[in-house]
Amino acid sequence: MNKLSAFIERLLAYDNYLIVGHENPDPDSIGSMLAVYGCLKTFGKKSWMISADPIPKYDWPNIEMILPAEEVEFENAIILDCEPKRTGKLYSFVQQAKFTFNIDHHKNNQGECDYNYIDVDQAATCMIIYDIVNHLGLDMSFEIAQPLYGGILGDTGGFRHQNTTSSVLLAAADLITHGARPDKTAREIFYSKPLEFIKFMGCALSKLKTSNNNQLVWLVLSYQDFTENGVNPQQCDQLIEYARMVENSEIVILFREILPNTIRIGFRSNNINIHQLAAHFGGGGHLLAAGAQLEGSLPDVVDLVITAAAKLLEGELNGRNY
């Protein structure tokens, strides 16, 4: 019996699950939750989906079943697309579970649950769920196919990132065959933003800074920037994709002060291992896309991180590690 078979066997041996993803859920986290919920329902298993933060208004099957953080009766927990501590205020719920199951693809996940299936070579957690569905021989219903497609689309940046492999594209094609809607899903994830956000983009992008011949690019947004423009800082992570458009950019960093002195940092790179930089500041993620959160004054945090990023960039270009 291989590792995936053993994991699935234990998963199906229990019932009454709490299904959670990470705080500030993205398409892969949401899609994983919905797909696992659909799979468990096929086997007659009882489960609840709960999110620590608001869910985007995607038109995906069963998304209305995702509850805000509230007490429900459950026995076991499934943590998706993150390690348990990244579930935010739901972590106390997870700790009450009799058995915990973890499915993830992030490099920094150490496998702290009772049962873990972590594959860092996968482009998205939804790719792992896709493999699980096929391993079980389940019919790929629209109820499962649509959220899986959405999660894969999100974590590959619309099939533009380096994790867009032939396996990813074959899975996406299969999911479309089973009803997933590529045009509508792309619009929901990438091209549907509040008017306030669109107006805010001009203000935000005017703050772009660069160094090292534009190879290091960063964008700093204060809590005041968000409040004065009526924009939710939690919903502005996509700004980093615009910063990446700077010609010759290699390392791109977005600083968002989501609360006074609480700074969420997004890291992106085209070729350099940016995960090591995020890990240096207590964060994690993937080889070319990662994140971290720091407490402190915004200027101090920016100076600290940009200094480290410049050393990483210069070290990599000179053949040294950070």
Residue 322, in any domain of the structure: no
Q: Identify the bridge partners of residue 67 per DSSP, sorted by sequence position.
A: 50
Which helix H or strand E contains 35, and what residues bound it?
A: helix 27-42
Mean pLDDT, residues 60-72: 92
Q: What is the largest CA-CA distance in the chain?
A: 58
pLDDT band (50, 70, 90) for residue 322: very low
Q: Are residues 158 and 220 in the same domain?
A: no
pLDDT band (50, 70, 90) for residue 18: very high
Residue 280, in any domain of the structure: yes
Q: What is the pLDDT, as a whole number, of residue 284?
A: 86
Q: How many domains is the chain partitioned into structurally?
A: 2
pLDDT at 192 over 50: yes
Q: Are residues 175 and 245 in the same domain?
A: no
Q: How far is CA 62 from CA 30, 43, 55, in A?
A: 11, 16, 12
Q: Are residues 167 and 293 in the same domain?
A: no
pLDDT at 315 over 90: no
Q: What is the pLDDT, as a whole number, of residue 319?
A: 47
Q: Are residues 24 and 101 in the same domain?
A: yes
Q: Are residues 11 and 118 in the same domain?
A: yes
Residue range of the domain that includes 51: 3-190
Q: Are residues 148 and 279 in the same domain?
A: no
Q: Which two tokens stand for residue 321?
A: 């590690």
Q: Are residues 49 and 173 in the same domain?
A: yes
pLDDT at 138 over 90: yes
Q: Are residues 267 and 311 in the same domain?
A: yes
Q: Do residues 114 and 101 make contact, with C-beta atoms less than 8 angstroms apart?
A: yes
Q: Do residues 126 and 145 make contact, with C-beta atoms less than 8 angstroms apart?
A: no
Round to whole Å and give the CA distance between 94 and 117: 17
According to DSSP H, which parts of 160-238 are helical? 166-177, 182-190, 195-205, 223-229
Mean pLDDT, residues 144-165: 96
Write the CATH number for 223.
Answer: 3.10.310.30
Q: Are residues 53 and 168 in the same domain?
A: yes
Residue 95 identity: Q
pLDDT in tens, 87-107: 989 999 999 999 999 999 998
Q: Are residues 253 and 222 in the same domain?
A: yes
Write the CATH number for 141.
Answer: 3.90.1640.10
Q: Are residues 47 and 153 in the same domain?
A: yes
Q: Are residues 122 and 240 in the same domain?
A: no
